[in-house]
Amino acid sequence: MSPTHQPVLAVETLHWLAPVSGGVYADCNVGLGGHAAAILASSAPDGRLLGFDWDEDALALARRNLAVYEARTWLLRRNFIELEVTLAELAIVRIDGLLLDLGISSLQLDGRSADGSARGFSFRRCESLDMRMDRRGGRTAADLLRDLSASELADILYYYGEERQARRIARAIVEQRRQVPLDNTGQLAELVAAAIPRRFHPAKIHVATRTFQALRIAVNHELENLATILTMAPSLLRSGARFCVITFHSLEDRLVKRAFRADPRLRVLTPRPVTPSAEELRRNPRSRSAKLRVAERREETG
């Protein structure tokens, strides 16, 4: 495991997921394999893990980090919304636990891909505005900035970034793209800073944080994917199986909270979300917005 890689809420997740030998667990966001390794270690000797990640760089590292568990793992480069068909392909009827650890990994935020191309998630460097986690297809952030109307852009910024200055930023994007293509992170960060009057700049976060979050969510269809798996998962869980979800912003957390409460097949085990300890926050400041919610599949009736 890379020395800088720290799975978020690792102890708490393991406690709630409670993996046991013989169980089959799905890790829908395998990333670098931090949570997956913990699940495999605590379900030894014969717990099995099905790991999804659609980012080929993440999956390559996960394969390396989980090599000692190879005989007990399936690692797949797939969108996690393919969970149901994947289980059918593997002839697995029900699973004993499911983990979602949503959002972006530090590998994606910090870096370049194995082939040297930029990822474009961060406003802290100047690079091409891609933002796709899965680069096999789909539109990049630069494509959206080029093709969408001002009102479509404003909606994305407002709903996915909770950005109150959405209209101002969208107008500035449309004005700028008439003169030059808007296709790198530095340009976009500068544009946002210039479009928002100084007195409205947030005190605690970079002025472009919400815009970058909104575009990333739109490019990767993050909320649609989350809604799909929240609907799909309960029927794939054995009774008593735990469904653990770690989110990183209020839009995701709200979706999870509502889906758990509304589903009669689930019993909510965490009325309030579990958050990182003071110790974890000190060690890993990026964990500060993490929230873990857990539900349990009820006994089937009828």
Ligand X SMILES: C[S@@+](CC[C@H](N)C(=O)[O-])C[C@H]1O[C@@H](n2cnc3c(N)ncnc32)[C@H](O)[C@@H]1O
290 belongs to the binding site for ligand X (CB under 6 A): no
Among 25, 52, 212, 260, binds ligand X (CB under 6 A): 52
Measuring CA to CA, how many Å separate 282 from each of 8, 10, 199, 277, 279? 12, 15, 31, 9, 5
How far is the C-alpha of 224 from the C-alpha of 232, rounded, in Å? Answer: 12
Among 26, 29, 140, 215, binds ligand X (CB under 6 A): 29
What are φ and ψ of residue 266, in 5° steps? -115, 145
Among 14, 24, 32, 233, binds ligand X (CB under 6 A): 32
Among 50, 129, 131, 133, binds ligand X (CB under 6 A): 133
Interface residues for ligand X in 88-127 (CB under 6 A)? 101, 103, 105
Interface residues for ligand X in 184-243 (CB under 6 A)? 225
33 belongs to the binding site for ligand X (CB under 6 A): yes
Smallest separation (angstroms) from ligand X to the CB of 170: 26
* Closest to ligand X by CB, 26 or 154: 26
Under rule CB under 6 A, how many of the chain's residues touch ligand X?
19
* Gap between the terminal Cα atoms of the chain: 46
Q: Token pair for residue 265?
A: 């097949």
Among 14, 25, 35, 247, binds ligand X (CB under 6 A): 35
How far is the C-alpha of 133 from the C-alpha of 107, rounded, in Å? Answer: 11
Smallest separation (angstroms) from ligand X to the CB of 127: 18
The β-bridge relationship of strands 291-297 and 266-268 is antiparallel
- The region of 50-58, 146-154, 263-271, 285-293 touching ligand X under the rule CB under 6 A is 50-58
75 belongs to the binding site for ligand X (CB under 6 A): no
Smallest separation (angstroms) from ligand X to the CB of 132: 10
Among 16, 25, 69, 80, binds ligand X (CB under 6 A): 80
Among 54, 123, 212, 243, binds ligand X (CB under 6 A): 54
* Closest to ligand X by CB, 187 or 209: 209
Smallest separation (angstroms) from ligand X to the CB of 55: 4
* Closest to ligand X by CB, 191 or 245: 245
The site for ligand X (CB under 6 A) is made up of: 7, 29, 31-35, 52-55, 58, 79-80, 101, 103, 105, 133, 225
